[in-house]
Amino acid sequence: MNHWTQESTKDFAFHLSLDFFTQLQDRFDDSEMLRKEFAKQLGISAGRVSQVFNNPPENPKVDSLVRYAQALGLKVSIVAYDDSDSRNDKGPVFSGVIAKCWEVMGKPRDLSAFTSAADNPQSINWLQNESFNRIASQDKKRPQADNQRFSDFNKAAGL
């Protein structure tokens, strides 16, 4: 039996976007923030906020996802995982499952909650991988306009 996510990459991406913006809508609804305030933090109109919540973009850019999440005090993580369902017959793990598991585990910030190097050095080899560390430590410079925009956004979001 085929899962709906096997129909097309475009449909799969849209459903991921829908799930993400539903999470944002839930957070927004739980907050006391007005759409006007939220829109101002994002530098867009309140009408655009309504459009995004009512009809999420089919394939939003990662920086847009981050901006929306940060404006609501949230963070974003893009996770690739192997659930032994390579044909995707069962579909993806729902974001709520991942969030709940993280909460149940005490909201760990790194792998130390699961293992220590002394107990199982193989399980954290990827953290010590030279390529991973080189990529993670690269100082990529953004254009000056972007630096100012991100700085203003972070200040507005209280970050």
- By the 8 A CB rule, do 42 and 129 touch? no
Residue-wise pLDDT tens digits, 103-116: 998 899 888 777 65
- By the 8 A CB rule, do 38 and 69 touch? no
Q: What is the pLDDT of residue 13?
A: 85
> Is residue 32 pLDDT above 70, yes or no?
yes
Domains along the sequence of the chain with CATH:
1-81+92-107 (1.10.260.40), 108-159 (no CATH)
Of 139, 135, 149, nearest to 70 (Cα)? 149
- By the 8 A CB rule, do 59 and 14 touch? yes
The CA distances from residue 38 to 16, 54, 62, 65, 150, in Å, are: 22, 15, 19, 14, 16
> Is residue 159 pLDDT above 50, yes or no?
no
Q: What is the pLDDT of residue 116?
A: 55
Residue-wise pLDDT tens digits, 54-90: 999 888 999 999 999 999 999 999 888 888 988 778 8
Of 50, 47, 46, 58, nearest to 8 (Cα)? 58
